[in-house]
Structures are given as structure tokens and as C-alpha cells.
Structure 1
Amino acid sequence: MTRSPVAAVAGALGFLSRVPVAHSDARWDAFRRTPAAIPTAGYPIGALLALPIAAVALAPGGIGAAVPTETVAVVFVAWLYALTGITHLDGVADLGDAAVVHGDADRRREVLKDSSLGVGGALALALVVLGLAAAAALVADLARFAPIAAVALVIGTEVAAKAATATLVCVGEAPHEGLGSALTAESGPRSLLGVGIVAAPVALVGWPALAPGIAVLVAAALVAAAALWWARSRLGGVSGDVLGATNEIARVVGLHVGVIAWTLS
């Protein structure tokens, strides 16, 4: 079947966000066969995610300065999940429960299928959401004196997080049929080239300083490597939950690392 880049990106937007794009089997098929569409969709999604940061930083008449950083952080988190949905957070919760259970890979995969939330899942969710809110506060503070850098960091981190997810799609194998196998079965390591090309501009998010963008990319790569190792050793492969959790964790880590690198550069 012919792969249409436009259809693949539209399919990625429809799957990874609540952006109102028309859904179709052709777009879904193009998306799952094109891992590079995942980080490509990160650019428009990241631009939309950055709107609360940009609004506060660029508000006229000092309105932005009057909005507390903590308020911006809460709005950012709420806006993010209104835009992207909570499907990936469900992956975080499921992996948190699977991480603390005793047993082999089969037992952990059983826990992944259990819809009830355990202590491990609750802790994982709390860490990710609190980490995201803290990162949003850092970005909001950055935006007060460097709005372009702050917006670029949000966009670049979203792209890098999705590149981490796409990397697992390219090199991972699913342990069972499901969303993970629908994506990983259609691609291989050769598709990493396209993912890398799409994600490469992230290195310029702190221009003229290169440290922030490179730090964000390195952080995403490390999260992907850790997720791949854990999934293979604990679950027997990369599932849909692993892909979703990788996106969420890479976003949080990338925002923190990016702000730190920008501050030090």
C-alpha cells in the first residue's frame, strides 16, 4: 500500500491528540507504517501546548506578570491533557503497577490488562503530573524574560518526546497482539533515519546556544533506551502502554533538562 506522508501525519495528529482531523482507515494505516510521522506531529502539537506560556509571556499591559507562576503551571497541565487526552497517562499508571508487582513477565502483563489502579500506578501518575507541573513552572519563569526560548523549548521537547516513542516503534518488538504490535510490526531500525531527520531541528531550540536543544534530544534518547531495556527485561517487549509512558516521561524529563541547560548556557 502506498504511504502518503500527509495522510500519515494526519493520522498521527488524530491518534496522538484531540486535534479535530478526520479519521479514516487509510490515515491510520499510513500512520502506523510511518514512524517519522510521530515526531512530525509533535511540531503542531507542541505549538498548541505552548499557547498558555506564550499568552502569559506576551500579554499586554503587564497582565502576564500578574499571573502567578503556579497558576500558569496548573493551566499548562490542564491544557496539555485537554489537548492530548489521557491515554498515555493510562500507560504510565499501568506500567507503575507492573513495575511493583512480584512475578515474571507473564504476571506483569496480566497487571497491565487490569483496569484497577494500584499503589504503583498511583505513585507513577503522581510523579509524572507533579513533575510536569514543576517543569511548566520553570518554563513559565523562563518565558518572562525569554519568551521565544520558552515556546521553542516546549515545542522541541514535544517533538523529542515523540521521537523517543517512535524510536521504540522502530527497534522494539511487541510481546503480544495489540496497539504495540500494530505499530512495531510495520517498521524496523531503518526507519530510525526518518525519525532522526524530523527530530534534528530540536537541536536549535536554544539558538544561538546549542546546549538546550542537544540536552533535550539526549534526554529523550536516554528515556527511550531505559524504556526499551525495561520493557524487554520485565515485559518481554514493547507494548502500547510502554509507548505511551515513554512519551509522558520523556516530555517531563526534557522540559526539566532543557530549562537547566538553557540556564547554564
Structure 2
Amino acid sequence: MAVSAVAALRGALGFLSRVPVGHSDAGWEAFRRTPTAIPAAGYLIGALVAGVAVAPAVVVGLPAPTLALALVAATYLLTGITHVDGVADLGDAAVVHGDADARRAVLKDTTVGTGGVLAVAVVVGGLALGGLGLASLPLGAAVAVVVAAEVGAKAALATLVCVGQSAHEGLGSALTAESSPRAALGVAVVAAPVVALTWPRPAVGVAVLLAAGAVAAGTLRWSRARLGGVSGDVFGATNELARVAGLHAGVVAWTLS
């Protein structure tokens, strides 16, 4: 069991980040059968982003715009841009006037349109603006919010893996076929401890997870209505949107509490 869990976590890190853990068929199979590995990987990815960019910037006292740039750079250097591609594809699909088949056709088009450009700009800009907000927080709070936002983003993605139905054969079906709605409980159990990181203001962690959950609910509903189900692009966009939503929710909750 322990060996399987380690393999699933390595598979999740290999799929969700650029952390050099190696790739193997065994890791991929363990990962796609273990949705709880997705939020588990979020703890490590979030800690790396916070440790590489946010903590040093806060300790040194760098200007807020510099911290924001460091956050964006570290996030995409560590996670890659695969999920951002999902944002661009869904942005293009969202502005299509047609049925689900027409929107799914746009997802396969390698050309990025105005909708995709705007969607990516909103996500990257939202991440940077969240970084500006982090600059006003104490060191521990800034680190906790970054980690919580990453765990929340991964929990949102994993929830869609558990409860979503794939719109077509591909990455979406490869993941959803191995999980059921009951597995979403395990995802919640793995993600919940991140609330402790925001102590003595646990409401901050709760706000981050609720924001990420709201994104998951929204993208799930939209994809069912507009695409006929989830896909790899939906997973990627959910991850990116939930990270931004969670980051802002955490900054606002800490500021107001």
C-alpha cells in the first residue's frame, strides 16, 4: 500500500509539475487510480513556490511588484504551462456560437483566438495581482496562503476527476474512468489539513478551499452544459482558475480577519 501511494504521488508530481521525479508507466497508472495524490502533490508544489519566490521576497522586503513577478515566474517554472493551455482552449471555446460539438472542435484547434488570449491574460494577471496582495501579509501568512491555494487548486482538479464524466476519449476519460464520486471524500480529507497552516486564523484556509471548490463547481457545470462533459482542458483550466481564486480569497480573508 505504501509503495503504491508513493508511486501515485510521484506520478502526480510528474504530471502536474516539472519537479524531476522521473516518469514511468507504473507511476502514471498509480496516479490515475489515486485522485487523492493530486491534492497531496499540491502541498509540495505550493511549498516549493512559496520557498523559492514568496518567502525570500518577503524576508528581503522586495517591492510588491517584484514579489508578484517572482510568484508568477516560480509558479510556471515549477508547474509548466500545460494547464495554461487548457485556459486558452476553454477561453476560445467559451466564445463559440454553436453546439457542444463546435466547442469541442475548437478545443482541438492549435490556433489561439481572442477568447483564449483574454482568458490567459485574466489568469496570469490575477495571479500577479494576488502576489501584490501577499506583499502586505506577514511571512507565515503569505507562505500559508500560497500553499493553501495550491492545495485548493489541486483539490478542485481532483474533485472534477471524481465526479465528472468525460466528453470524449482522451486525458479526461483516462482519469475519470478510474474514479467515482465517492473518491471525492478522500480528496477532501487530504486537502482539509491545509487549514491548519493558516492558524491562528483557520477561517483563511477555509476561505481558500471554499473559493477553489466554487471554481470546481462552476467549471463542472459549464463543461457539462457547453461541452457535454469534462476533458483535459477543463482539468487544466480548473487548476489555474482555482489557484487564483484561492489566492485572492486567502489574502482578503487574512486582511479582513
TM (norm. structure 2) is 0.97
Q: 1:128 aligns with which of 113, 123, 126?
A: 123
**Does the 8 Å CA contact 1:3/1:33 hold for their aligned counterparts?**
no
Q: 2:166 aligns with which of 169, 174, 180?
A: 174
Q: 1:186 aligns with which of 178, 188, 208?
A: 178
Q: Match for residue 212 of structure 1?
A: 204
Structure 1 unaligned regions, length at least 5: 59-63
Q: Match for residue 61 of structure 1?
A: none
Q: Match for residue 188 of structure 2?
A: 196
**Does the 8 Å CA contact 2:54/2:70 hold for their aligned counterparts?**
no
Q: Match for residue 57 of structure 1?
A: 58
Question: What is the number of residues matched between the two proteins?
Answer: 256
Structure 2 unaligned regions, length at least 5: none
State the shift of 1:3 in Å.
Answer: 7.9
Measured in 1, the distance between the counterparts of 2:20 and 2:198 equals 31
TM (norm. structure 1) is 0.94
Pick which of 238-247 and 188-197 moved more. Answer: 188-197
1:31-86 alpha-carbon deviations (Å, 9 max, x no partner): 0000000000001100001021111222xxxxx22x21101111210111111000
Say yes or no: does 1:159 pair with 2:151: yes
Q: Match for residue 68 of structure 2?
A: 73
Q: 1:106 aligns with which of 77, 88, 101?
A: 101
Measured in 2, the distance between the counterparts of 1:91 and 1:3 equals 32
Q: Match for residue 245 of structure 1?
A: 237
Pick which of 209-218 and 227-236 moved more. Answer: 209-218
In the TM superposition, structure 1's runs of 4+ consecutive aligned residues that sit over 6 Å from their partners are none
Determine what percentage of the aligned residue pairs are the same residue.
Answer: 66
Q: 2:85 aligns with which of 63, 85, 90?
A: 90
Measured in 1, the distance between the counterparts of 2:201 and 2:28 equals 38
**Does the 8 Å CA contact 1:97/1:118 hold for their aligned counterparts?**
yes
Amino acid at match of 1:7: A
Cα RMSD (Å) of the superposition? 1.3
Amino acid at match of 2:211: A
Measured in 2, the distance between the counterparts of 1:148 and 1:74 equals 19
Measured in 2, the distance between the counterparts of 1:20 and 1:43 equals 16
Match of 1:141, SS state, is: coil
